[in-house]
Structure 1
Amino acid sequence: MDISVVVPVYGCRAALPELHRRLVETFEGMGVSFEIVLVNDNCPQNSWEEIERLCALDERVVGVRLSRNFGQIRAITAGLDICRGDWVVVMDCDLQDRPESIPQLYAKAKEGYDVVFARRIARKDSGLTKLLSRSFYKVYDYFTDGNYDSSLCNFSISRRLVIQAYCSMREQNRAYTMFIKWLGFRQTAIDLEGDERFEGESSYSFKKKMAMAFELITAQSTKPLKFSVNLGFFFAFVAFVYIVVVLINHAINPDDVLVGWTSTIAAVFFMGGLVLASVGVVGLYVGNIFNEAKGRPLYVVAEVLNGDVSAEDILNTRTLKGQL
């Protein structure tokens, strides 16, 4: 198998026939053997029916149905665990990523790279979405000492060795692009223009994006803990200096009456808020430890069509290897 394409499917059923048609035309034009792995992440539009139809029409389509919604990144992980290609393309199902761009990614990889990312130019998103993306990566860079390009996306091609290394990392809080970049290997990116979504809207609300940001940062960096400690020491030092100044002033001017109950109460509430915030940061890390300690699977496969393995085989393999 030359190339596998892994596509998480959620909220864009109408795009699947067009996606299949364009992928087949692209790969047949390249003259390579391929498979298209469609992972249904419990799509509310019942995309599984369309995936079943495509699997019946084309044995090169592998259908994977998860038992419930596990999220985009875990759906990608399920597809990566199952796919068989020497090279693996990851892309979205909404046709913002052009299938016709895969030959460019493949040609660049053949120059000696292990990973080639797509760098989106003329991104078809709102100004607010772009601003939030850039802001998140700036904060993420600070906390992880990284250097990430906000224009990079999941659309990429990677060598089998890279995918195996990614699949060996079984953290509950995970990302695709960031984990692949963390692995190293020979990486590059090429500029590719994307299209508008074929239908619907992104399922990533502002609340979900914020939750994901906190998960990724606390899962990969201890800087928030150090930041809260440094902030606590800073305010303790300021409070100590203020107390010393007040006592010296009282010693010099004993007739001055010590007043300021309002400011004192305000300071107490302010410091109390900082303490609670610091405890909350610690709580996030404890929560991460709790989730990892439970050892639950990243996903559960309910059904596989046209694949070399069944849902039962996947469950037994994970259990025997201790990779739950």
Structure 2
Amino acid sequence: MMLNKEKNFVSAVIYIHNAEKRIERFLDMIIGVMEGNFEHSEIICVNDCSDDSSVDAIKKVSDQAKTTSISVINMSFFHGLELAMDAGMDLAIGDFVFEFDNTNLDFDQEMIMKIYRHSLTGYDIVSSSPNKKEKLSSRFFYKVFDRFAENSYDMTTESFRILSRRVINRISSMNKTIPYRKAIYAGSGLKTANLKYDVKVDGSNYVDAKERRYKSGLAVDSLLLFTDFGYRFSFWMTSLMMLISVFMILYTVIVYVIGHPIEGWTTTALFLSVAFLGLFGILTIIVKYLQIIVDMVFKRKHYNFESIEKLTK
């Protein structure tokens, strides 16, 4: 029966990369929530070039779906979370769209409906985060990001979120090549909220080398694109080099006036080391900026998928 079920059409986009040990349980829960609470729903699984049996597990669980449409987007090669989720979001047609950045089931399923109902109170973006201490690397990244960002983003580690169609339409009008969705959402100007949940089980899960390298690169790109971290670094290194130069000039004059010049090989080597360190730091940032600009301007085709499989009607 459809009595008391939500009339809104909802989509769930799930990022999957080598998740064969988790996807069956996770997808089974998502199907239960969708069919138990919504008259019309769809689930889009984005397979980011998994080399395990993740797709077979998805097909196995999809047989349980009765009213929910389930599709799989098979990416042509490993794209990473951001571009892969872009592919899923472009296919989603729901009035509201859930984004699941991983298949780590460390929350109660009631949390999904909790953020949905919270969004109905006037929030276009509602995210959900584990109520536990963040990893040191994550704390450092968000602290640096917030410190050097022009606007106050106040971001944190998120497991999943819900977006209204209004925010999706607004984001789609922006440059899709910008790599960090959370910063785009936070800077969209629409009303956002974050709800915490108590971790049900140990939420740690294996992250392979591809994902680790991707996340490290994403962090660097995001700091350069959305903050003035690169400019500040260049500015302070340049200032430091200038101070050292002034000190060396004063030192040279004093030694000359006193009349006891000393061969300053150590001082010269130190100065050259610091100077070249700063110079190469500045050049590295400039090169990185140029690389990002080239990617944004000239790489028009943002993602490639091999196929789209419709598993249910």
Please provide the CA RMSD for this pair.
2.6
* Match among 11, 14, 37 for residue 44 of structure 2: 37
Structure 2: gaps (5+ residues): 1-7
For the residues of structure 1 that align with 2:293 and 2:118, how far apart are their CA atoms?
Answer: 40
Partner of 2:124: 114
In structure 2, relative to structure 1, the CA distance for the partners of 1:194 and 1:73 (3 Å cut) is: farther
Letter in 1 for 2:248: Y
Q: Is structure 2 residue 71 aligned with structure 1 residue 65?
A: no
Partner of 1:286: 290
String of CA shifts for 1:147-181, please: whole Å, max 9, x gaps. Answer: 44454415111101112222334444512222211
Letter in 1 for 2:280: L
Residue 13 of structure 1 aligns to a residue whose secondary structure is: coil
Letter in 2 for 1:220: F
Task: For 1:62-211, list aligned pairs within 5 A.
Answer: 62-91=71-100, 92-122=102-132, 130-149=135-154, 151-196=156-201, 200-203=205-208, 207-211=213-217
Structure 1: gaps (5+ residues): 124-128, 309-324
- 8 Å CA contact 1:117–1:153 kept in 2: the answer is yes
- 8 Å CA contact 1:170–1:298 kept in 2: the answer is no
Letter in 1 for 2:31: V
Give, in angstroms, the shift of residue 19 of structure 1: 2.2
Give, in angstroms, the shift of residue 8 of structure 1: 0.8
For the residues of structure 2 that align with 1:7 and 1:298, how far apart are their CA atoms?
Answer: 19
In structure 2, relative to structure 1, the CA distance for the partners of 1:177 and 1:98 (3 Å cut) is: farther
Give, in angstroms, the shift of residue 55 of structure 1: 4.7
For the residues of structure 2 that align with 1:195 and 1:164, how far apart are their CA atoms?
Answer: 34
In the superposition, the TM-score normalised over structure 1's length comes to 0.83
String of CA shifts for 1:246-272, please: whole Å, max 9, x gaps. Answer: 314532x23x22332222122112211
Partner of 2:219: 213
**Range that drifts further, 9-18 or 62-71:** 9-18
**Range that drifts further, 192-201 or 290-299:** 192-201
In structure 2, relative to structure 1, the CA distance for the partners of 1:52 and 1:297 (3 Å cut) is: farther
In the superposition, the TM-score normalised over structure 2's length comes to 0.85
In structure 2, relative to structure 1, the CA distance for the partners of 1:269 and 1:20 (3 Å cut) is: closer
Partner of 1:244: 250
Partner of 2:5: none
Give, in angstroms, the shift of residue 211 of structure 1: 2.1
Partner of 1:258: 262
- Higher helix proportion, which one? 1
String of CA shifts for 1:230-257, please: whole Å, max 9, x gaps. Answer: 4213321332243134314532x23x22
For the residues of structure 1 that align with 2:59 and 2:203, how far apart are their CA atoms?
Answer: 20
Percent identical among aligned pairs is 21
In structure 2, relative to structure 1, the CA distance for the partners of 1:66 and 1:210 (3 Å cut) is: closer
**Range that drifts further, 2-11 or 185-194:** 185-194
- 8 Å CA contact 1:38–1:79 kept in 2: the answer is yes
* Match among 53, 56, 63 for residue 49 of structure 1: 56
Aligned pairs, how many? 301
Give, in angstroms, the shift of residue 105 of structure 1: 0.4
Partner of 2:4: none
For the residues of structure 2 that align with 1:230 and 1:198, how far apart are their CA atoms?
Answer: 40
In structure 2, relative to structure 1, the CA distance for the partners of 1:18 and 1:117 (3 Å cut) is: same
Letter in 1 for 2:190: F
- 8 Å CA contact 1:55–1:63 kept in 2: the answer is no
In structure 2, relative to structure 1, the CA distance for the partners of 1:44 and 1:197 (3 Å cut) is: farther
- 8 Å CA contact 2:10–2:98 kept in 1: the answer is yes
